[in-house]
Each structure stands twice: as C-alpha cells, then as structure tokens.
Structure 1
Amino acid sequence: MNRNDRVILPSLTGSKASHGFGDFAIDLLAGTAGGTACVYVGQPLDTVKVKMQTFPQMYSKGMMNCLVTTFRKDGIRRGLYAGTIPALVANISENAVLFAAYGVCQKAVALSTRQKVEEMSPIYHAVSGFLAGFFSSFTLCPTELVKCRLQAMRETSAISSVGGGEAPLRYIGPATLCKQILREEGFRGFFHGFTSTLAREMPGYFVFFGGYELSRYFLTPKGKTKDEIGPLRTIICGGIGGTFLWVSIFPTDVVKSRIQINKLNITLLGCLKDIIKHEGIRALYSGLGPTIIRTFPATGALFLAYEYTKKTLNTLIHPTYEIEQ
C-alpha cells in the first residue's frame, strides 16, 4: 500500500486498522471534540449569518451593522452567543453521527466499488460524505431549529408586535423554547424544515469531505502521508472544505433558516421561488460574508480537534496504532 494514499480516517481504512465498535466509539468522541471547537470559534458570526438571512431588510447595511447592533442591544451571552447550548448539542450530535456514519459509508462505498478504502480517490470520499449527510440530518434538524429561533428572537418579536415596532423582549432559554414548540406544534414541530435540511446537508457534505480530501492530497509534503501534514495544514484543509460547503449550499441554508424561524408551511422550492420573486437572487446570498469569515477558522478548528483527538484515542486504545502510522 502506498502510504501517501492514506485517507481522512486512518483507523477505518484497512483490515489492520479495523477495530469494529472501538473505531465507531472513537469517531463519536472525536466528532464531539470537533463539534465543540467549531461552535465556540464560530458562534458569533453564525448568529449574524442567521439574522441577515432571515431579516435582510433590518440588516441591509451589512455584517458589521448587524454585529454591532446585536452586541449593543443584547450583549455577548444573549446576543452574539445566543443559541450556543442548542448549537453545541447540534454540532456535537451532528459531527459525532456524521463522522461515525462517514466511516461506515466509506466502507460501504469501497465494498460496492470493489476496492480498498485507502485506495479510493477523493470523489469516493465525497460520495461517502453525501451518504453520511443523510444520517446527520436527523440529529441536526431539531437542534438547528431551536438554535436559529433563539438567535432571531429579538427580530421575530419585533415583526410580531403591533405596528412592527421594537417590542419588549422577554428572553427565554432553550428548555422553555423546546416546551413551547412541543406545546404549540407537537413533536413534528422539531422537524420543521427537515426537507430543506436534507437538501443542504447531503450535497454540502459531498463537497465538504471532497474539498478536505483534495486539499490534503495537494498539501501533503513529499515523503509524508496525509496524516502527517501538521496542525496548520490541517486547519487550512478544514477551512477549504468548509468554504466549499457553504458557498455551494448557501441558498438552501437561507431557505431552511426562513422556514424554521418563520414557521412557514411551504416547500423548499416554493420558498426559493418566493424569495427570488419578491427579493431577487441576491437575497439568497444575504449573510454569505460573515459565513465565509466564520467558516474558515471554525471548520479548521473542527478538523484540528477531530484529527488530534482521534489520534490520541487511537494511541491509547490501540497500542499498534503508532506502528501502523
């Protein structure tokens, strides 16, 4: 086997490195670490992104206006870091499921194409990511819905107030909001916007993992493996993968945010056509600036935490891991 052809998940790529449930558990824990790092690095600009997507008229002056207004009115904890708890739950659960499912899907794709995982080209890893996105959507949709509604609480309150003026804001936390959704919309309410979530996640993770793998391939120094590129290159590759993801799926994410926050009973295509008709195509990219700025360090942190947590756990649990590397 050519050592330069090793893939994103070394513990899942060959018969020697296959340890069944142990690898699955390691992926879950490493995904948890990655999701946590991603949230704390990127949450403030994620809040700005959600507000600009859903209320473009309120924040037509751009990213900095939205950022400063949110900070001035609600501060850091209840403003820029609003929805952090559900965001943590969302990212931890999504990335734990995503990376575990990704490893399983890699094996399935390798089996169906009659090749070894370590010999697969980036396109097959992208396909594995596409399939893994289906499973992560089930954990992401409910938590993403709660996060987005918490982030846009002030704007939603202003829209619903008489005359559309500034309404007194009574802050509620994630638990209270969950009870409210359950009471008013039932359990199905947590999956409002599930179709748009699927439409975002599956193609998004196709380019996410494809971009990450392709970047690692080109940034691997001669004589080293993709698992030996170091922290800085890992962050860069993660940032590239994340940028590919958001540029490709941003219009779908705008639609998802609006459907979930405004409780719209409309299809994905119906909402898309309505936005283009009344606001123009540019509205589908409202908030892209803060998203790209947030994504590079956030997804870089995600992959850095994921890769090094995985390596540490593999070294502790599988004594032969370092030798195999």
Structure 2
Amino acid sequence: MAMEHKDDHGTLKSPKNLKSGIIDFTAGSLGGVTLVYVGQPLDTVKVKMQTFPQLYKGMIDCFMKTLKQDGIVRGLYAGTIPALVANVAENSVLFAAYGLCQNAIANLTGVQKVEDLSLLGNAWAGFFAAFFSSLSLCPTELIKCQLQAMREVETQKAAPGERVNFIGPWQLTKQIVRAEGPQGLFRGLLSTIGREMPGYFCFFGGYETTRQLLAKPGQNKEDIGWINTMIAGAAGGVIFWLVIFPADVIKSRIQVQNLRKPVYIILKDVVRTEGIGALYNGLKPTLIRTVPATATLFVTYEYSKGLMHKYFDD
C-alpha cells in the first residue's frame, strides 16, 4: 500500500520515504474521521452491551433505550470527541507504521517493491504496526468507553431516583489523572495490545487478500475501483472483529469498570459466571457497524493517499 521510491542503485531515498510516511499518516487521519461518524452510534451500543449486558435484551433494545434516555448527541454519539481523537491517532499512526513495516519486511525478505510483498508479509506488517498504534489508542479509547457507558456506571452509584451527572471528556480525563496519575490513562494497555496485534494481522491480511481476489487477471490491486476497495475494507473489518472480539470485551470491562485483576483472571471469571456467550455480547452491532465504517475508512485512505501522491510526487 505504501509507495517505495528507490534510486538507480536500488537504495531507498529517505526524503521520498519520509514523504510517503507523511502521506500515509494524513490519509489514515482522514480515514479515521470518516470511520467515527459512520460507526459511532453502533459502537456506543457495542460498549454498553459488552459492559452491562444484564441491562439490555439485545441490540435494538439498547439502541432504543439509549436514544430515548439520552438522545442522539449525548446518547448514541457519546464519546465522539475522544473517539475522533482515538481513531485519528490510531489510524494515522497505524497506516504510517504499516507503510514503514512494509518497507522493513520488503528489505528483510529481499522483495524489490512493497507492492510485491506476499499476503503473509502484509499481514505481518499490520501485526507490528498495531503495537505502535496501541500506544496512541489506549488513553483515548479509555475516555471514549467510559463516556459511552457513563449512564450505566453512574446509575449503579446513584440512589434510586437520583439524577445521573454527566461530565465531558476533558473533565473525565482530569478526574482520572488526579486520582491515578498519568498512568491511569493507560489502564487496559496490555489487553489493547493483545487485541490489536493479532487483530491487525488478520485485518490487513484479509484486506490485501480480498483486494487480490477481486483484481481481474493482469490488473493491479491498486486499480480495482472504489466499490471493490470498499468490499475489501469491509471484509478486513469483519475478519478483525470476529478474531479479536473476546479480547475487546475484556478490554472494555477493564476500562469501564476499573477492573484491576489480570486479564486471564477476568476472562476466566466472565466465562464461569456468565458463560462463554458473554465474550460475544455486542458482536451483532459491531459487525453491522464495521461493514460501512471500515469500507469508508479504506476508500478514504486509498483515494486520499492516491490524490496526495499524484499531487506531490514529481
């Protein structure tokens, strides 16, 4: 996906490589913005069902109760600002790191052009890139999840009939830092890394595989058109969530319910007390959300990257 520029001796031209990295970073940022606005309502439903499954009969019940109680902005689009920050941070770092990891793997394996990397090579590039994006994602994901489930958390604390007190993302961030220090913003980091790295191995592997399958004989996968790019993006997103969803449930509970136990203990407790099905609470709205959201992400990324390369390349 990232373009590689070499001189006549086959060595990497660092200014050109830096420019490609900046373009990947910018295109990833734009993709992250579109993903949030398309998918935020169902992401809110997902987080609520993951962390408080006993309060809802299913996806539609959760959606309608949230809409009725808190409306569109405070309810379904709760946590949009940190979600924007989270997704811009994650996707800009992810796609920039993905391009760099593609280059590194191509150099290590003796592949002349990044475009000629194997499907497995692209998957490994996604795996390693996800480590770096996890570091930028964890704090903003923490704030987003807590804002999305704020009604449920505060209702449990409040006396019967007492009004729920909502606070904004900046107030919540200050509250966490005041109580726990800056490290409090990285609660759930290990579970985030444990989710992201294998997830993005499958994500980019699935995306690149689907693009290759959709390319006609002799056609470059970069030229398959926006509809096929959306299909490939949606396929990558569905594979991602099917693989990592149990880890995402555990991460959401750690971040929303302030759990302090090791990940494997929480996993064991959830399976023992709620059954293995609890690890898939919220999967339906996630899969429904990820098809248009991830499709939009990749179309925005690929086409904005292509336009920037066309405009800025010599």
The alignment's TM-score, normalised by the length of structure 1, stands at 0.92
2:17 counterpart (2, 15, 20): 20
Structure 1 vs Structure 2 CA RMSD: 1.3
Would you identify which runs of 4 or more consecutive aligned residues in structure 1 move more than 3 Å? Answer: none
Which amino acid is the alignment partner of residue 244 of structure 1?
I
2:39 counterpart (32, 38, 42): 42
Describe the shift of the 1:166–1:67 C-alpha distance in structure 2 as closer, same or farther (beyond 3 A).
Answer: farther
1:322 matched residue in structure 2: none
Structure 1 residue 166, shift from structure 2 partner = 5.6
Paired-residue identity, %: 53
State the distance in 2 between where 1:225 and 1:99 align: 20
1:209 matched residue in structure 2: 204
Q: Secondary structure at the match of 1:85?
A: helix
State the distance in 1 between where 2:24 and 2:206 align: 20
Q: Is the 8 A contact 2:34 2:296 kept in 1?
A: yes
2:186 matched residue in structure 1: 191
Q: Secondary structure at the match of 1:20?
A: helix
Matched ranges for 1:283-294 at <5 A: 283-294=278-289
1:132 aligns with 2:125: no
Task: Output one character per residue of 1:256-300: Cα deviation in whole Å (capped at 9) or x when no partner.
Answer: 000000111111111101100110100000000000000011000
2:304 counterpart (305, 309, 317): 309
Task: Output one character per residue of 1:169-207: Cα deviation in whole Å (capped at 9) or x when no partner.
Answer: 122111111111111111000000000000000000000
1:81 aligns with 2:72: no
Which amino acid is the alignment partner of residue 15 of structure 1?
K
Which amino acid is the alignment partner of residue 19 of structure 2?
G
1:323 matched residue in structure 2: none
1:235 matched residue in structure 2: 230
1:99 counterpart (70, 95, 100): 95
1:160 matched residue in structure 2: 157
Structure 1 residue 158, shift from structure 2 partner = 1.2
Which amino acid is the alignment partner of residue 224 of structure 2?
I
Q: Secondary structure at the match of 2:54?
A: coil
Task: Output one character per residue of 1:50-87: Cα deviation in whole Å (capped at 9) or x when no partner.
Answer: 0000001001x100000000000000000000000000
Structure 1 residue 167, shift from structure 2 partner = 4.0
Q: Structure 1 residues 146-155 or 224-233, which shifts more? A: 224-233
2:219 counterpart (214, 224, 231): 224
1:145 aligns with 2:142: yes
State the distance in 2 between where 1:160 and 1:198 align: 30
Which amino acid is the alignment partner of residue 25 of structure 2?
L
Q: Is the 8 A contact 2:33 2:84 kept in 1?
A: yes
Q: How many residues align?
A: 307
Could you tell me which runs of 5 or more consecutive residues in structure 1 were left unpaired when the two chains were aligned: 1-7, 320-325
Q: Is the 8 A contact 2:154 2:165 kept in 1?
A: no
The alignment's TM-score, normalised by the length of structure 2, stands at 0.95
Could you tell me which runs of 5 or more consecutive residues in structure 2 were left unpaired when the two chains were aligned: none
1:262 counterpart (245, 253, 257): 257
Describe the shift of the 1:220–1:42 C-alpha distance in structure 2 as closer, same or farther (beyond 3 A).
Answer: same
